[in-house]
Amino acid sequence: MVKWPPIGTRGAARDLALNDVVAGELEPEDPDHDIVLRIRSTTGDLTEPLRLLMRRHGTAVYRFCREQLHDATLADDVHQQIFIEAHRDMGRFAGRSTLRTWLFAIARHRVLDAAKSRRRAAAHIEEDDTADTPDPTPPPGDRLDDARLHQALVQCLAGLGDHVRTAMLLRYQQGFTFEDMAVVCSEKPGTLQARVMRALPVLRTCIESRTRGKL
């Protein structure tokens, strides 16, 4: 059994988190076990666990934000907000999932909120990924090359609903299992799997119709 150091003066919420851990709910397989240990053992200042969290997951979370929002400026803001929120709530991390799953649950919420706010404000969506990319239409009879596939895929993903796009990115870009995705999205694994499986042929049709190419 993992023996945890006693927790300092972080209030009732933190005591509850410790009890959860002692009860054995912390996943010992968490690759971020060392950060979790740091959260448990640090009295007051959670700057160090935050630094480690940013160092280890900052880039992955940023890529998720960029592909979800398709807007560099908005993604930058949301990305920072996610880690500020993670720092705020870190003391209450109860170990019921891995730290990475917990972080992406925050990321998903913030990204969906940002997308909703943007829709409400009818803001302009920056299509910065298309600026220097090739014409998606291949020469007649050619097989679609990777660059054109990428460009068409980005455009077709943008046309999916937020929740479908989230599932696709969590599954493929971030490599989550459907079980972990279920924690991130608060949905059933089977629901998410079905959503991903349904989206793949939709993407294929979209890509082929946009490019008039053969995948």
Partner 1 sequence: MDEAIARIEAALRRLGAHTEPPAGWERRVLAHTRARAPRRGWWTVPAFALAAAFAFAAPPSAPRELELAVVREVHGPAMRGGDLRGDSAHVGDHLRVTARGGAGPRQLWVYRNEVELVAVCPGSPACGAAGDAVTADLALAALGTYTIVALTSTTPLAPPGGSYDGDLAAAGMAGATIRTRQVDVR
Name beta bridge partners: 214: 143
Stretch that binds partner 1, among 106-114, 119-127, 152-160, 183-191 (CB under 8 A): 152-160
CB nearer partner 1, residue 97 or residue 151? 151
CB nearer partner 1, residue 92 or residue 120? 92
CA gap 74, 206 in Å, rounded: 26
CA gap 26, 21 in Å, rounded: 5
By CB under 8 A, tell whether 41 contacts partner 1: yes
Q: Site for partner 1 (CB under 8 A): which residue of 43, 117, 130, 209?
A: 43
Q: Is 137 helix (H, G, I), strand (E, B) or coil?
A: coil
CB nearer partner 1, residue 51 or residue 163? 51
Count of residues that bind partner 1 according to CB under 8 A = 52
Q: Quick one: CA dihedral 132, 136, 142, 143, positive or negative?
A: positive
Residue 64 φ/ψ region, left for φ over 0, alpha for ψ in the -120 to 50 degree band, beta for the rest: alpha
CA gap 32, 29 in Å, rounded: 8
Q: Site for partner 1 (CB under 8 A): which residue of 10, 14, 38, 195?
A: 38
DSSP, residue by residue, 54-81:
HHHHHHHHHHHHHHHH--HHHHHHHHHH
By CB under 8 A, tell whether 29 contacts partner 1: no
CA gap 182, 117 in Å, rounded: 24
Q: Site for partner 1 (CB under 8 A): which residue of 18, 20, 27, 87?
A: 87
* Residues 6 or more apart whose Cβ sits within 8 Å of residue 162: 68, 112, 115, 116
CA gap 142, 114 in Å, rounded: 39
CB nearer partner 1, residue 45 or residue 135? 45
Q: Site for partner 1 (CB under 8 A): which residue of 105, 112, 125, 154?
A: 154
By CB under 8 A, tell whether 168 contacts partner 1: yes
Q: Interface with partner 1 by CB under 8 A: which residues? A: 3, 5-6, 8, 33-34, 37-38, 41-43, 45, 47-48, 50-52, 54-55, 58-59, 62-64, 66-67, 76, 79-80, 83-84, 87-88, 146, 149-150, 153-154, 157, 168-169, 171-173, 175, 200-201, 203-204, 207-208, 215
